[in-house]
Amino acid sequence: MATFSVSQFNGIAPKIAPRLLGESIAQAADNVRLDSGRVEALPNHSASVYTVPSTTNTVYLYSGSIWKNYNAQVDIVEGPIVNDVTERVYYTGETYPKIYRNDGGPYRLGVPAPTLAPTVAVTGTADLDELEESRSYVVTFVTSWGEEGPPSSATTPVSFRDGQSVTVNLPSIPTTAGLNFNAGALKRIYRTNTGSTSTGFQFVAEVVYTATTYTDTIANNALGEIIPSVTWMRPPDDNATLFPTGPMQGLCSIGNGIMAGFTGKTLCFSVPYLPHAWPVSYQLATESEIVAIKPTPGGLVVGTKGKPYIAQGSDPSAISLIQLESDQACVSKMSMVDMGGYVIYASPDGLVTVQGQQIQLVTDALLRRAQWQAYNPTTLKAMNYEGTYIASNATKSIVFDPRGAKNALSTVSDTFKAAYNHLETDTLYFVDSTSVKKFGQGSGSYTLTWKSKPFVSAQPRNFGWARLDAASYPVTFKLYTDSTLEFTYSVLNSDPFRLPSASRARSWEFEVSGTASVNSVSIADNVAELL
């Protein structure tokens, strides 16, 4: 039989001393696929499908055909409305939160409350035979797309009798840049109703956004619904006075029409199916500054600069925030990736998985902290490719496959700056420099490299023959003896080939490279052992 043979190819484990590696564990595994057991080359990527500036950090394919690119780390969520013909999307990360539709935008997400209360004046001749009532008014702003904001402060109550009318002087529309107060925008007027058992403000009327006054002649029994937006607030934006920790970022959908985001140590949630409304009462606080969030079936994973959290609940008014028993901070926002049922993110010590309330440092057996830090984890940007986690820094990418311990870790020679999963077509797009490409959907393959562990003998010896079984040829074979490159050979078929006769050594390593899949490599004293 052969002296040593490798027919199962696995990934790298830099934490383990090379000579103590298992026989199938590699010292180097670059541009490889290992899920089949043999070593295969990663497929090439497609040609460029779109050109972006070199400063791009986010790309998004809108409406299936229009590429959007951003310099910032932008999070984009499609609207929660079924069969939405306007194709609205919401996003954060670029100055203030925004909304975009195919008929206009982007505009600011959220609607401000009027800064001043309306004022009122009572006119006309009162019917002294009728009871006197007290009225108070509030006003809300409504965007051109029907989004209603929180109410103004209430007017000072005024006395009113039949025969009189009330003129309401309406507050002005704000001039803040980005607000969607164009044709179709409105002001809504609400008032108290002393003839009702309700203590809330009821709908009176709505007028065009340019209106400055409204004369109220509506009878109490003709008033409409109670104002719905009393607690609604716009999401944290670039108003530093109101939001000193900055605009909301990390926007994501957590189901049931609810969106989530964060700023500083504050976790924010929207009203279901109303992404412009973010009540303060829905906010939750963490001990440390939030870095990234991702939804999972087990809850919203919250990575912070301290301990991680899981937020669980289906009603934004009753979501519970649970601190996980782990010191694994999240060091890179773009390293947190949804893997389908759980997330992976980069910590100071390695890669961390969170599934429900279970958290694990999954690279602990593969990498020491110093080895992991050499990858510059604070700069990592990651993506999910067919169940594998691929993270890139400025010089190289690492691949982690959580489905198998032995083939879990490998490397890729290319880097990327941004990625986007288009779920409808199951296509992963990425940005290498200035080009958007389809990951793994080009012709041909990368050039793979796989280097074995050192096979060590008690005494120096000379192996005479080798055999390499591959799906196709040629394959480049390299032999290292006592850590020195001894022999390079282009293998053209599966026949045994002779090794240098003068190579007496205690330590033997081999390396294969090329584009062909390799099934096995065997090294023996003589050719008979290989046959």
Query: What's the CATH code of the domain at 182?
Result: 2.60.40
Whether residue 517 is contained in a domain is answered as yes
Residues 489-504, mean pLDDT to the nearest whole number: 91
Whether residue 320 is contained in a domain is answered as no
Q: What is the DSSP string of 43-65?
A: BPPPPPSEE--TT--EEEEETTT
Q: Residues, the chain, total?
A: 531
C-beta atoms surrounding 292 within 10 Å: 26
Q: Is the pLDDT of residue 340 over 70?
A: yes
- Residue 196 confidence (pLDDT): 54
Do 148 and 142 form a contact (C-beta atoms < 8 A)? Answer: yes
Burial category of 347 from C-beta neighbours within 10 Å (exposed 0-12, middle 13-18, buried 19 and up): buried
Collect all residues with Cβ–Cβ distance below 8 Å to 315 and sequence separation of at least 6: none
Do 229 and 245 form a contact (C-beta atoms < 8 A)? Answer: no
Identify the helix (H) or strand (E) that includes residue 369.
helix 369-373
In the structure encoding, which two tokens stand for residue 255, read together?
A: 């189901």
Q: Output the CA torsion 411→404→420→412 (10° steps).
A: 10
Looking at the fold, whether 11 and 147 belong to one and the same domain comes out as no
Instruction: Pick the last residue of a domain from 173, 191, 222.
Output: 222
**Cα–Cα distance, 194 to 134 (Å, whole number):** 7
Residue 502 or 281, more confident: 281
- Name residue 92's beta-bridge partners: 75
Looking at the fold, whether 65 and 200 belong to one and the same domain comes out as no
Peptide bond into 500 cis (omega under 30): no
- Residue 37 confidence (pLDDT): 87
- Name residue 173's beta-bridge partners: none
**What is the count of structural domains for the chain?**
4
Q: Is the pLDDT of residue 328 over 70?
A: yes
Q: Is the pLDDT of residue 163 over 90?
A: no
Residue 467, domain extent: 4-42+447-530
Looking at the fold, whether 481 and 343 belong to one and the same domain comes out as no
Looking at the fold, whether 153 and 206 belong to one and the same domain comes out as yes
Distance of CA 430 to the CA centre of its chain: 14
Q: Is the pLDDT of residue 276 over 70?
A: yes
Whether residue 76 is contained in a domain is answered as yes
Instruction: Pick the last residue of a domain from 176, 197, 222.
Output: 222
**Cα–Cα distance, 348 to 92 (Å, whole number):** 26
- Residue 405 confidence (pLDDT): 66
Burial category of 221 from C-beta neighbours within 10 Å (exposed 0-12, middle 13-18, buried 19 and up): exposed
Whether residue 64 is contained in a domain is answered as yes
Whether residue 229 is contained in a domain is answered as no
Q: Reduced to 3 states, what is the DSSP secondary structure of residue 392?
A: strand
Q: Is the dihedral of CA 350, 254, 280, 313 positive or negative?
A: negative
- Residue 1 confidence (pLDDT): 44
Looking at the fold, whether 363 and 452 belong to one and the same domain comes out as no
Backbone dihedral angles phi then psi of residue 129, each to the nearest 5 degrees: -80, -15
Looking at the fold, whether 37 and 59 belong to one and the same domain comes out as no
Identify the helix (H) or strand (E) that includes residue 448.
strand 448-451
Residues 371-393, mean pLDDT to the nearest whole number: 95
126 sits in the region (left: phi over 0; alpha: psi -120 to 50; else beta) called beta
Looking at the fold, whether 401 and 472 belong to one and the same domain comes out as no
Instruction: Pick the last residue of a domain from 197, 222, 247.
Output: 222
In the structure encoding, which two tokens stand for residue 473, read together?
A: 């040829």
Average pLDDT over the chain reads: 94
Whether residue 504 is contained in a domain is answered as yes
Do 479 and 522 form a contact (C-beta atoms < 8 A)? Answer: no
Looking at the fold, whether 353 and 433 belong to one and the same domain comes out as yes
Percent of the chain exceeding pLDDT 70 equals: 98
Give tens-digit pLDDT for 211-259.
Answer: 999 999 999 899 999 999 999 999 999 999 999 999 999 999 999 999 9
Residues 333-345, mean pLDDT to the nearest whole number: 96
Q: Is the pLDDT of residue 35 over 50?
A: yes
Looking at the fold, whether 331 and 427 belong to one and the same domain comes out as yes
C-beta atoms surrounding 383 within 10 Å: 21
- State the distance between the two ends of the chain, measured CA to CA, in whole angstroms: 9
Do 414 and 432 form a contact (C-beta atoms < 8 A)? Answer: yes
* Exposure b/e, 222-258, CB count within 10 A at least 16 = b: ebeeebebeebbbbbbeeeeebeeebbbbbbbbeebb
Give tens-digit pLDDT for 164-214.
Answer: 889 999 999 999 999 999 999 999 999 998 755 456 899 999 999 999 999
Looking at the fold, whether 62 and 99 belong to one and the same domain comes out as yes
Output the CA–CA distances (angstroms, integers) from residue 306 to 244, 260, 379, in the order listed: 21, 20, 18
Do 5 and 523 form a contact (C-beta atoms < 8 A)? Answer: yes
C-beta atoms surrounding 125 within 10 Å: 9
Whether residue 417 is contained in a domain is answered as yes
pTM: 0.92
- Residue 81 confidence (pLDDT): 84
- Residue 462 confidence (pLDDT): 87
Peptide bond into 316 cis (omega under 30): no
Looking at the fold, whether 269 and 129 belong to one and the same domain comes out as no
Looking at the fold, whether 347 and 405 belong to one and the same domain comes out as yes
Whether residue 47 is contained in a domain is answered as no
Collect all residues with Cβ–Cβ distance below 8 Å to 22 and sequence separation of at least 6: 10, 406, 453
